Amino acid sequence: MQLEDMKIYFLEVENEDEFLLKSKYPRARIFGSKLDEDEIIKNCLDAEVLCVFIHSRISQKVINALPNLKLIVTRSVGYDHIDLTAARQKNVVVCNVPDYGSHVIAEHVFALLLSGLRHVNLGGLRVVQDLDFSYSGLRGTALKGKTLGIVGAGRIGKIVARIGSLGFLMNVLAFDPLEDSDVALENHFQYTDLETLLSKSDIISLHCPLLQETKHLIDENAIKKMKNGAVIVNTSRGGVIDTNALVEALKSKKISCAFLDVLEHENNLNKDRDLLDLKNVIITPHIAFYADDSMGKMYSESFLSIDSFRNGEFIVNKVES
């Protein structure tokens, strides 16, 4: 069978990316929206390859119902939306994209910080809505000389450290269970324990996965250890922060402001209503990853996985379950 004869299905594809897929795999079937489990089974029954994103749940039910399925590729780092056990039992290979854009997420951290601490949004609204060009009440906060605390010094966290230290001349502390002195030296930060980081940082940026041990890592007790007026940035996972504790801290000004690209209840924003209504909060809709080159790499790495699998080569980005 030739590569072009494989039954390849792409789910959750945006309009601007369809040309890229069609030019690579002219006979591929493309769906713009996410499909639920029954819709995947109905529309992709003869699929040999499924290339999905994070909102497509590839469960045991789906895997068992697709008789020809051989490969699942998710255009994401995480793969908890795929039942790895069911895939392994049916000899279905699973691949991911281990790093599609650490730098763009790191850049978004500073986009949030600069927008909030220099009152970019408020100043812009004042000019446009009120035709008022005065700067009264918009005094900002400089980053130079501040202490930046990074929770999780992995792919993204280390880039945030480098930008903060070399770009903005900040003092950078980091907490990570796996310390690497070479990484710290190269990216100009110093490791410390979590309690010290919380107590000494002016700004705390979260870059840890959502695991059982990190759920509500930033809770009432953690917030009590922070400096009065500390700033929190979260571009990792919403559940790392206890939303109720954050709301109370923002209301009391224990935390001066929060800049969030992720929320604990992204699928039901009414649960975060108190947080959304606060003026000392900036929220973006999980777009830290969403840039031109990161989206391009999601697809190019997925193509490598598909082609290496079909050609019988070492499978690129295979998830070891």
Distance CA 221, CA 105 (A): 28
The catalytic residue among 108, 237, 264, 310 is 237
Residues 6+ apart with CB under 8 A from 59: 37, 83, 86
Q: Is 286 a catalytic residue?
A: yes
Backbone angles phi, psi at 29, to 5 degrees: -95, 135
Do residues 48 and 71 lie in contact, with contact meaning Cβ atoms separated by under 8 Å?
yes
Distances 194 to 112, 176, 297 between C-alpha atoms, Å: 23, 8, 33
Distances 149 to 115, 144, 187 between C-alpha atoms, Å: 19, 14, 14
Sign of CA pseudo-dihedral 28, 22, 50, 304: positive
Do residues 81 and 40 lie in contact, with contact meaning Cβ atoms separated by under 8 Å?
no
SS3 21: helix
Q: Is 237 a catalytic residue?
A: yes
> Active-site residue numbers?
237, 266, 286
